[in-house]
């Protein structure tokens, strides 16, 4: 009997990636392209459908071979109705009927869930969370997402918006966030957050850095530039990542107190900074968490950071079953 094939989609504010996945968690083919999130409401939808179609073509298949499509999307969202309610990285989508539109264009059964939630599902299925009962995942990208498996079950909440970790406030008088709150960890430890902090710090003319040229053109500074400078040994850029990592660890104490997870896996492009992020995050967690057990908790790199959301979105279809 032939294996059933699914499509898992990782929809980010910057890029959208689709992969063909079989029921054993093997990715057979993929495609990736820019999201075009800020162009219009239809532009990212077109990119999603084109990316799915190309991934299917790359796998030598047609849509008739696909048993279902799972999408991991930024939230808040309503998974039951297939709506993206409001996403900071997709500014033209407000109560956007993503599931209905993708199904209408492509045909197979389609479902959606929070992108960080499906990343947690994927890491739990095939990566750092294998065999664990209580597991937490952070994705550090344009924004910050969180997802959890609690007592062996995916934690979604009553309306599918559990673990919005990026909007955990670490300073009630802090930076204004797009969500309406102040001091969200996303404003400090995401790609956008580290750019914001670097631009703010560079107003101090006494700081020496290869990034000093951006004092007069802050809109041109990117997280990749800061990352490249840090990897080249720029002390200012390194300090930006260390500061982001410590903030992250402070916020993780809140998550640990609520979820009591055994392992937190961190993935996403920002996590590629390695120990510049991980060591200060661990330091903050171990300094500020309950001393009676915090040393039993591990912060580790995600094992499948590039594939977790694809795998988790596909697994979501498998778990939900196929619609007629």
| pLDDT confidence of residue 102 | 97
Per-residue pLDDT of 91-105, as tens digits, reads: 899 999 999 999 999
Regarding whether 220 and 201 lie in a shared domain, the answer is yes
| pLDDT confidence of residue 206 | 87
Residue 38 pLDDT grade (very low, low, confident, very high; cuts 50, 70, 90)? confident
Closest CA to 237 of 284, 184, 289, 201: 201
Rounded to two decimals, the pTM is: 0.82
Helices 275-288 and 235-259, packing angle to 10 deg: 40
Regarding whether 61 and 142 lie in a shared domain, the answer is no
Length of the chain: 324
Regarding whether 247 and 288 lie in a shared domain, the answer is yes
Per-residue pLDDT of 178-196, as tens digits, reads: 889 999 999 999 999 999 9
Look up the CATH number of the domain holding residue 100.
3.30.420.40
Is there a contact between 16 and 33 (Cβ–Cβ < 8 Å)?
A: yes
Distance CA 114, CA 45 (A): 16
* For residue 171, pLDDT beyond 50: yes
Regarding whether 31 and 94 lie in a shared domain, the answer is yes
Residue 123 resides in a domain:
no
Number of domains, the chain? 2
| pLDDT confidence of residue 324 | 36
Residue 121 resides in a domain:
no
Residue 172 resides in a domain:
yes
Tell me the backbone φ, ψ of residue 128, rounded to 5 degrees: -70, -15
Regarding whether 263 and 137 lie in a shared domain, the answer is yes
Regarding whether 132 and 219 lie in a shared domain, the answer is yes
Residue 2 pLDDT grade (very low, low, confident, very high; cuts 50, 70, 90)? low
Terminal-residue alpha carbon distance, the chain: 20
For the chain, percent of residues with pLDDT exceeding 70: 98
Regarding whether 215 and 91 lie in a shared domain, the answer is no
Does residue 9 or residue 146 have the better pLDDT? Answer: 9
Reading phi first (left if > 0) and then psi (alpha if -120 to 50, else beta), residue 196 is in alpha
Residue 276 resides in a domain:
yes
| pLDDT confidence of residue 293 | 94
Regarding whether 34 and 13 lie in a shared domain, the answer is yes
Which residues are CB-contacts of 156 (< 8 A; sequence separation ≥ 6)? 79, 113, 114, 117, 162
Output the average pLDDT for the chain. 92
Q: Interior CA angle at 307 toward 49 and 322, to 5°?
A: 55
Domain that holds residue 313: 5-115+307-320
What is the mean predicted confidence (pLDDT) over 208-222? 93
Is there a contact between 135 and 149 (Cβ–Cβ < 8 Å)?
A: yes
| pLDDT confidence of residue 76 | 84
Regarding whether 272 and 141 lie in a shared domain, the answer is yes
| pLDDT confidence of residue 301 | 95
Residue 120 resides in a domain:
no
| pLDDT confidence of residue 242 | 97
Per-residue pLDDT of 122-145, as tens digits, reads: 999 999 999 899 999 998 988 898
Residue 323 pLDDT grade (very low, low, confident, very high; cuts 50, 70, 90)? very low
Distance CA 242, CA 69 (A): 38
Residue 107 resides in a domain:
yes
Residue 54 resides in a domain:
yes
Residue 284 resides in a domain:
yes
């Amino acid at each position: 009997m032939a294996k059933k094939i699914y499509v898992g989609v990782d929809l980010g504010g910057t890029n959208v990636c689709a992969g063909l996945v079989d029921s054993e968690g093997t990715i057979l083919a993929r495609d990736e392209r820019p999201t075009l999130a800020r162009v219009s409401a239809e532009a990212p939808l077109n990119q999603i459908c084109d990316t799915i179609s190309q991934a299917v073509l790359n796998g030598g298949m047609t849509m008739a071979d696909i048993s279902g499509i799972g999408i991991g999307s930024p939230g808040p969202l309503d998974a039951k109705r297939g709506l993206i309610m409001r996403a900071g990285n997709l500014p033209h989508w407000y109560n956007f009927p993503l599931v209905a539109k993708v199904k209408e264009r492509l045909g197979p059964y389609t479902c959606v869930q929070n992108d960080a939630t499906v990343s947690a599902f994927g890491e739990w299925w095939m990566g750092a969370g294998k065999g664990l009962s209580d597991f937490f995942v952070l994705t550090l990208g344009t924004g910050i997402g969180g997802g959890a498996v609690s007592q062996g079950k995916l934690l979604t909440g009553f309306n599918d918006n559990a673990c919005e970790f990026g909007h955990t406030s670490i300073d009630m008088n802090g930076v204004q966030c797009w969500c309406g709150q102040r001091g969200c960890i996303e404003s400090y430890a995401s790609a956008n957050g580290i750019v914001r902090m670097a631009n703010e710090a560079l107003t101090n003319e006494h700081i020496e850095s290869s990034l000093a040229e951006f004092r007069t053109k802050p809109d041109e500074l990117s997280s990749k530039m800061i990352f490249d400078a840090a990897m080249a040994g720029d002390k200012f850029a390194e300090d930006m990542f260390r500061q982001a990592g410590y903030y992250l660890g402070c916020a993780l104490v809140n998550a640990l107190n609520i979820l009591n997870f055994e392992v937190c896996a961190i993935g996403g492009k920002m996590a590629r900074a390695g120990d510049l992020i991980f060591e200060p995050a661990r330091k903050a967690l171990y300094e500020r968490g309950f001393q009676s057990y915090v040393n039993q908790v591990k912060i580790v790199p995600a094992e499948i950071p590039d594939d977790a959301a694809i795998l988790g979105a596909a697994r979501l279809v498998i778990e939900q079953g196929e619609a007629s």
